[in-house]
Amino acid sequence: MDLNGKVVAITGAASGIGEACAHAFAAVGAKVAVVDIDEVGAVRVASAVSGAAVPCDLGDPAAISDMVAQIEADLGPVEVLFNNAGIGSGAGLLTSSLDEWQRQWDVNLMSHVHAIRAVLPAMLERGEGYLLHTASMAGVLSSHGNLPYAVSKHAVVGLAEWLAFTYAHLGIRVSLLAPLAVRTPMLGDAAEGEWASQAGGPIKEPTEVAQQVLDAIVAERFLVLTDPIAQTWMERKTADPDRWLLGMNRLQQRLEGAEDAGLPQQ
C-alpha cells in the first residue's frame, strides 16, 4: 500500500513505537491521527507531524466510537487503522487481580475489536483498507511474568490472523507487529535488567521499528519481526514444544534467582 494521502489512525501514538510510526508515516505523505489517553502527548506529536490529536481512553468502547467519528470529521474516513496501544504489568497468576486482567483485556484486545468494528464496514464498501496490530512476541512466544499481558497479546495474534484470511479477497490487508524488546516507556528499567539480556532479544529503537512497519505496509506483508532471532525462536518452539518449554522453565528459574538478588524481573 502507498500511504501517501491516506488517513492513518495510530493508537498509543504519544510515545514509543506509535510516536515513531506517526513521524514515519507522515514523512511519506500520510494524514495521521495521533490517538492516545495522554492528551498533552498526543497534541505534541500531532503538532510535530501536522496531524490531528485525538485523546481517547481505549478501555472505553464509547470513547473509541467517538474517536473514529472525530478522525472522520477532522481528516476523512480511516483508511489505515494501527491498533498499537497496549498496557502491561509484571504480575503472575496469583498476584494479578481480576480487575487487572479485565483492564488489560479491554485495552490490549477489545480496543482493537471496537475500533475495527467502527472502520471496517466503510473499508469493505470501498474495497480497500489496512489493519495493523501490535501484539509483541509475548503473543507468539509468551513471556516470563506479565501473564495478563501475554494472554491478551496471544488473543491479538489470533484476531489478526483471522482478519487476514477472512477479508483478504475483499481488499483488506492486515499486518501483525510482534516486536522483541524496544526502548519505549513500557520497557522502562527492564532494558537494563536480567530479562532484557536473557529473553528480550536485541533491544531496538522505536525509529528502527517504525521503518520496519512502514516497509511491511508497502510490501503488504503480514508478520513484522524486529530481529531475525525472533524467527529462530519461533521455529524452535514449533519444532519441539517440549524442549522449548523446558528451556523457558530454565530461564524462569534464572530470572527468579535474579529477582532474589535484587535485579528487576519482567
The residues carrying an active-site annotation are 149
User: 1 and 21 in contact (C-beta within 8 Å)?
Assistant: no
Q: What are the grid coordinates assigned to 247, written together?
A: 528451556
- How far apart are the C-alpha atoms of 228 and 141, rounded to whole Å? 14
- How far apart are the C-alpha atoms of 215 and 212, rounded to whole Å? 5
- How far apart are the C-alpha atoms of 50 and 143, rounded to whole Å? 37
User: 22 and 51 in contact (C-beta within 8 Å)?
Assistant: yes
- How far apart are the C-alpha atoms of 99 and 165, rounded to whole Å? 33
Q: Both ends of the chain: CA-CA distance in Å?
A: 36
- How far apart are the C-alpha atoms of 121 and 57, rounded to whole Å? 23
Q: Measured on CA atoms in the order 180, 220, 44, 86, is the torsion positive or negative?
A: negative
